[in-house]
Amino acid sequence: MLSISVNDGVVLLKKDFGMSYFPAFIKLDQQKILIVGGGKIAYEKLEHLLDFTQNIEIIAKSYSKEMLALIDENQLTCKERMYQKGDVSGFAIVIVAVDDIPLQADIFLESKQYNCLCNSVDSTAYCDFIFPAYIKKDDLTIAISTSGASPALAKHLRNYLRALIPSTISDFLKEVKELRTTLPKGKERMLMLDKKAQDYINTWRKS
């Protein structure tokens, strides 16, 4: 795989001998996201992103009915045209959800000039990050990734784990969140909350 960087306007290519993704949760407050594409894959990416933010804009030469409905429902900004050089300026993240490898490469290279994270669908060579399969239930978020080796396995593992999590998880998290904000910090609080979490997990095994 080639890693690509830009230094003083010069594009640098470097051979990488391995690939790994560090799991991290990105705070999206005040972060603008651009989606390029208006089809099925773009719809799926938008649907996932809306679980976390609505600060999203879309550019596509055409849109599916489902995509337009989702955009309208969430009152998002969209433009019906081809991507143009410079469109990525001002965005923290760009999702290239089009089956156009040259365009993916162009936007990926351009994103480096604007310190913008880029994800190109099905092209890990043009990705700074990948979308994990995930479970979200209120404050609980579990992300699962196979580093691109098998998205299908990640999907089925997500479904397996989702079936294990009881419907009471949201109430439990609200309870311990309240305890964390009301009880004084210290070892006693830490041990109490740890035991409470362990006891709660143990009830899953009994059910």
In a domain, residue 137? The reply is no
In a domain, residue 74? The reply is yes
In a domain, residue 112? The reply is yes
- Percent over 70 (pLDDT), the chain: 90
Same domain? 118 vs 30:
yes
Count of the separate structural domains present in the chain: 2
| Residue-wise pLDDT tens digits, 88-99 | 999 999 999 999
Same domain? 12 vs 111:
yes
CA distance 62 to 147: 31
- Res 19 pLDDT > 70: no
- Res 205 pLDDT > 70: yes
- Res 106 pLDDT > 60: yes
Least confident of 9-13, 26-30, 137-141: 9-13
Same domain? 189 vs 112:
no
Same domain? 95 vs 34:
yes
Same domain? 68 vs 125:
yes
Q: What is the pLDDT of residue 207?
A: 64
CA distance 141 to 24: 12
Find residue 94's DSSP bridge partners.
Answer: 34, 118
Confidence of residue 22 (pLDDT cuts 50, 70, 90): confident
In a domain, residue 94? The reply is yes
Determine whether 154 is exposed, middle or buried from the number of CB atoms within 10 Å of its CB (0-12, 13-18, 19+).
buried
Last residue of a domain, one of 75, 101, 131: 131
Same domain? 108 vs 197:
no
Residues 6+ apart with CB under 8 A from 51: 136
Mean pLDDT of the chain: 89
| Residue-wise pLDDT tens digits, 169-193 | 999 999 999 999 999 999 999 999 9
SS3 of residue 183 by DSSP = coil
In a domain, residue 98? The reply is yes
| Residue-wise pLDDT tens digits, 39-54 | 999 999 999 999 999 9
Same domain? 6 vs 95:
yes
CATH code assigned at 46 = 3.40.50.720
CA dihedral 182→187→188→190, nearest 10 degrees, is 60
Determine whether 56 is exposed, middle or buried from the number of CB atoms within 10 Å of its CB (0-12, 13-18, 19+).
buried
Domain containing 182 equals 169-206
- Res 140 pLDDT > 80: yes
Least confident of 31-35, 114-118, 131-135: 131-135
In a domain, residue 49? The reply is yes
In a domain, residue 195? The reply is yes
Same domain? 121 vs 175:
no
Q: What is the pLDDT of residue 146?
A: 87
Least confident of 4-18, 80-94, 140-154, 181-195: 4-18
In a domain, residue 149? The reply is no
Last residue of a domain, one of 111, 131, 151: 131
